[in-house]
Chains A and B, each alone.
Chain A
Amino acid sequence: MADVFDRVKAIIIDRLDVDEEKITLEASFKDDLEADSLDVVELVMELEDEFDMEIADEEAEKINTVGDAVNYINSQQ
């Protein structure tokens, strides 16, 4: 199974159509990857499907960077 970061990266590339090198753990979805609020909601939905988990709204709101998402997923597995 691919590393969590790689799987998250693949979803981001597919959804936001950004260059792979821009996707670092520090990258902010909104500031660096040009996602709007609804894009982030959708990304979270896709992460839920990809990792077969439910991310509560309160947790989802804390996900601002790629690293936030990866850390959250790791903490739940």
Chain B
Amino acid sequence: MEQVWEKAYNFKEVMNKPERLAGGHRMCAGCGGTVTVRTVLRALEEGDKAVIGNATGCLEVSSFMYPYTAYEDSYIHNAFENAGATLSGVETAYNVLKKKGKIKDNYKFITFGGDGGTYDIGFQSLSGAMERGHDMVYVCYDNGAYMNTGTQRSSATPQYADTTTTPAGKVSSGKVQVRKDLAAIIAEHHVPYVAQSTFTANFKDLYTKAQRAIYTKGPAFLNVLSPCPRGWGYEPSELMNICRLAADTCYWPMFEVIDGKWVLSYEPKNKLPVEDFLRPQRRFKHLFKKENEELIGELQAEVDRLWEALKKRCEL
């Protein structure tokens, strides 16, 4: 049987599906998080019911401000660190109520968290939910810092980024550490599906990965680079270009881990230098001072190292 994610991708058709995140929410122009949510929810088959979960963050406070919700589906926000556990409870309730014949419809379970709520404070709750095998999708919209509270450093923040808690200064070059590789960590939970994506030209990569995540039985994790214009310092209109540069510099590799097998989704024809990704962003501005040249070299070396390691994992 052909799986939903194996169907030919028709951009026009996909974009014409009804929106499940209504307009009028309060997210910023040029926000990647909202694009991630819309693309992932679009991957639900029309007619399929869903419960959407959400960790506290920009997305939650901007899309469900009482008494208005932007979601066309049932939705639950609980707190910052427990999107995984909360949806575990919803999904378990579904299973038992279905078994007892109290509900008849089919539901899918998708939860969204920013990198702060996913890599850091919600890490344990996410790990538990993945390990227990709930049939749900956890989507991290990774913008590389605590954006809702004003761009504080998270463990997803790239090295040398200027954040409000790792400011570049006279004796500081921004964040000291490299970012945590969360997709690999969740893959080590031996869940059936993990993928890393972002939105490139026609949204095919994220859309089909979301389909696969939603329609694969068991826990799935999507890590989606979702730029933040305020935290990163780019023009809102540059959103898609930033994502493309993240992919083409191999700063943000796109891959899948399907039942433990690593598959590379995209290999740029011309791998661009990482500084092409860094240059349009205010958070890396300090790296382009003369005295910091070697830091860009360090970042390039780290990108190259991870890229080679990923290709090895994908047996390329």
Binding partners A and B: no
B residues neighboring A (CB under 8 Å): none
